[in-house]
Structure 1
Amino acid sequence: MSTNPVPVEPETAAEATFETQPDWRLAGFLPYQLSIASNAVSSLIAERYRKRFGLKVMEWRVMAVLGDGANAACTQQALTRITLMDKVAVNRACKVLEERGLIQRVPNERDGRSHLLELTGDGRAIHAEVMPLALATERELFEGFAPDERAAFREFLGRMHKRAAGLATGD
């Protein structure tokens, strides 16, 4: 009687890849690496302004987008698209920010069925205080990176985002 296992053919391409790469580890998987790096950076920045301003990560992302000159007023749907956040998370963040008086709804002259969201005076004041903290944290994160490494990192992230978006839309 043989004790050697009978090889089984993989049923899917994913199984084939996993079976042919026995050293595969989650820590080396690009989507996982991007996710944990993003979460670590977001958590670091969030912790620095959560205590002072009472903002959660999703709330700050909405404020950051609305505080950006290109998106000074936009619809909730546009916020969802720009941030790549779930529409429920965007809705919840907008509701909290509106209740706190940090954003307001204004009529959308282009489309009477929707409203534009924009920062209030209080929202702009907080944005003006948080941005220097966020930028200081970014400088800390890039300490030890040469200027060309920082530029390459940003270029690679931009290319990865563009590639993923293209694959998602079939381009």
Structure 2
Amino acid sequence: MPGEHDILELENFLPYRLYHLADLVSRDFARVYKDRLGLTRPEWRVLAGLGQHGAMTATALGAQSSMHKTKVSRAVAELERRRWLVRTPDEKDRRAEHLALTRAGLAAYREMVPLAKAFEAELLHKLRDGERAAIATALSALEKKLVA
């Protein structure tokens, strides 16, 4: 029988807890953009990235949204099919394309911004003031240490 130090209690393991919480929140928020715009998670992330930053390459979108290039490519293709984004070849590097939202894509993004902010506010409202501050501080500290 394994000793106490040989057992990993997954439900108390911080990396798992962070992943699990992120997944729960992401799934809950997915209902908002799926119901409203019929988007998948990767499509939402591409729409949000382009809405926030303007024109970007698929590589930059992947890095910004932490998505594999295959998921980015499929999301871009679907948003292009909807006529929510356009591709423009890079004049210096023909292998690269700059992606940008069309008017329809920008309208969809602008429709989602207040819904996303309301979702975040509702989520944060579940915490007390001190808890909100503590989680923001802890997340920033972990991100800073892991990115360094």
Aligning the two structures, in what range does the TM-score lie when normalised by the shorter sequence? 0.7 to 0.9
Identity %: 38
* Offset at residue 44 of structure 1 (A): 1.0
CA separation in 2, counterparts of 1:66 and 1:19? 51
CA separation in 1, counterparts of 2:3 and 2:68? 34
Gaps of 5+ in 1: 6-17, 167-171
- Segment of structure 1 superposing worse, 79-88 or 19-28: 19-28
TM-score calculated relative to the size of structure 2: 0.87
Deviations 1:122-168 (A, max 9, x none): 111011111111111111111143445323322322332232233xx
* Structure 2 counterpart of 1:138, from 117, 120, 140: 120
Instruction: Count how many residue pairs are aligned between Structure 1 and Structure 2.
Output: 148
CA separation in 2, counterparts of 1:65 and 1:139? 20
* Structure 2 counterpart of 1:36, from 14, 20, 25: 20
2:88 corresponding residue in structure 1? 106
Amino acid at match of 2:16: Y
* Structure 2 counterpart of 1:48, from 27, 32, 38: 32
* Structure 2 counterpart of 1:122, from 88, 104, 119: 104
Decide whether the 8 Å contact of 2:33 with 2:44 is kept in 1. no
1:9 corresponding residue in structure 2? none
1:80 corresponding residue in structure 2? 62
CA separation in 2, counterparts of 1:143 and 1:87? 35
TM-score calculated relative to the size of structure 1: 0.77
CA separation in 2, counterparts of 1:155 and 1:104? 38
1:160 corresponding residue in structure 2? 142
2:50 corresponding residue in structure 1? 66
Gaps of 5+ in 2: none
1:11 corresponding residue in structure 2? none
If you compute each CA radius of gyration, which structure gives the higher value, 1 or 2?
Answer: 1
* Offset at residue 55 of structure 1 (A): 0.3
What is the root-mean-square deviation of aligned Cα atoms in Å? 2.1
* Offset at residue 30 of structure 1 (A): 1.5
Deviations 1:37-86 (A, max 9, x none): 11111111110221221101111011111111xx2111001111111111
CA separation in 2, counterparts of 1:33 and 1:104? 38
